[in-house]
Amino acid sequence: MTEQLRGRDFIATQDWGNDEIEIALETARELKEKFRHGESHRLLPDKTLFMFFFDKSTRTRNSFEAAMTQLGGHAHFISSETSQISHGESPKDTGIILSSYGHGIAIRHDLVPGEGNTFMREVAKWSDKPVLNMQCDIDHPFQTLADLMTMREIFGNDLRGRKIAISWAYAPSYAKPMSVPQGLITLMTRFGLDVTLAHPPEYKLMDLPLHQARENAEKYGARFEIVDDMDVAFENADVVYPKSWGIESLFHNPEEALEISKKYQDWICNERRMSLAKKDAVYMHCLPADRGHEVVDAVIDGPQSVVYPEAENRLHTCKAMMALTM
């Protein structure tokens, strides 16, 4: 089956079957072991990845660049602002030309609902090499794959019956993308986790991932529920994942969204809320977290936090997907 994955786009986890996701996770585990033991794994010698960024990045850019180097290839960093895309070059031209120059195209385009995923799929339509989603408006597939990998390392491969609380949390910095919680609810419902999503009424997620999460939960025998109380979500959870995101209708007016968010400054992951979860519950976050707003230092730096192993696994899931598709 691994040969069948060669050339495949990875734009949303929903596009891949469970058996294909399992192959990716097993490949990531194997490559992580090789990395830990200093064993060479140059599976993509002399291959080139073009990385387009429409947004700032730390973990995504560096995990992809490190992954390509360790696989024996090279990753080109391209800012949308310094490319001809900023002058209106079409996704068609971008897909055809860059796929003729190299072996893969990765794109991060996450800040405006209705744009990023559409752009990626149009590039993929014209590219004859795989297109990889480094985060769009709908999904952040490499992040959620790393999250699933991390949960399995902690709790074992069978996550059935485990509860994950995915909650909105207050952050004053900027209106953050919706893609992480949307990616979590669609992927975790496929792998046995009971998902509780919590948010204030204004912070509803997009209709498509909500529909997919409900369908996945029914198909795979999991639970998916939405509540408007952070405490309720945290009760008896095995995993808590509190994170800020913006309001879909206000991404063109972020100041208004941030003003609304001030009503919910008590939506913070603190020690009291962690005590509502199970004693062996873990705290997760895609990072960067707004310390003192989304989460207190005592939690993110405490014994239940797994944010750093979670961040490391971004390297290994990136590496696995590129090795399988490129």
- Do 116 and 123 touch, CB atoms closer than 8 A? no
Q: Where are the domains of the chain?
A: 2-140+314-325, 143-310
Average of per-residue pLDDT across 63-82: 96
- Do 197 and 229 touch, CB atoms closer than 8 A? no
More confident residue, 26 or 80: 26
Write down the pTM of the prediction.
0.97
User: What is the fold of 143-310?
Assistant: Rossmann fold (3.40.50)
pLDDT (0 to 100) of residue 1 = 63
pLDDT (0 to 100) of residue 3 = 87
Instruction: Share the mean pLDDT of the chain.
Output: 97
- Do 173 and 241 touch, CB atoms closer than 8 A? no
More confident residue, 150 or 1: 150
pLDDT (0 to 100) of residue 158 = 97
Q: How many CB atoms lie within 10 A of CB 82?
A: 9
HEC string of the chain equals: CHHHHCCCCECCHHHCCHHHHHHHHHHHHHHHHHHHCCCCCCCCCCCEEEEEECCCCCHHHHHHHHHHHHCCCEEEEEEHHHCHHHHCCCHHHHHHHHHHHCCEEEEEECCCCCCHHHHHHHHHHHCCCCEEEEEECCCCHHHHHHHHHHHHHHHCCCCCCCEEEEEECCCCCCCCCCHHHHHHHHHHCCCCCEEEEECCHHHCCCHHHHHHHHHHHHHHCCCEEEECCHHHHHCCCCEEEEECCCCHHHCCCHHHHHHHHHHHCCCCECHHHHHHCCCCCEECCCCCCCECCCECHHHHCCCCECHHHHHHHHHHHHHHHHHHHC
- Do 97 and 23 touch, CB atoms closer than 8 A? no
pLDDT tens readout for residues 246-259 = 999 999 998 898 99
pLDDT tens readout for residues 168-218 = 999 999 989 999 999 999 999 999 999 999 999 999 999 999 999 999 999
At residue 220, does pLDDT exceed 90? Answer: yes
Average of per-residue pLDDT across 145-158: 98
Beta bridge partners of 164: 195, 239
Q: 2-140+314-325 belongs to which CATH class?
A: alpha beta
Average of per-residue pLDDT across 158-173: 97
Do 2-140+314-325 and 143-310 show the same overall fold?
yes
pLDDT (0 to 100) of residue 299 = 98
Share of the chain above pLDDT 70, in %: 100
Region label for 11, one of left (φ > 0), alpha (ψ between -120 and 50) or beta (otherwise) = alpha
Distance CA 299, CA 280 (A): 13
At residue 87, does pLDDT exceed 70? Answer: yes
- Do 102 and 127 touch, CB atoms closer than 8 A? no
At residue 28, does pLDDT exceed 70? Answer: yes
Q: Indicate the residue type of 201.
A: P
pLDDT (0 to 100) of residue 35 = 98
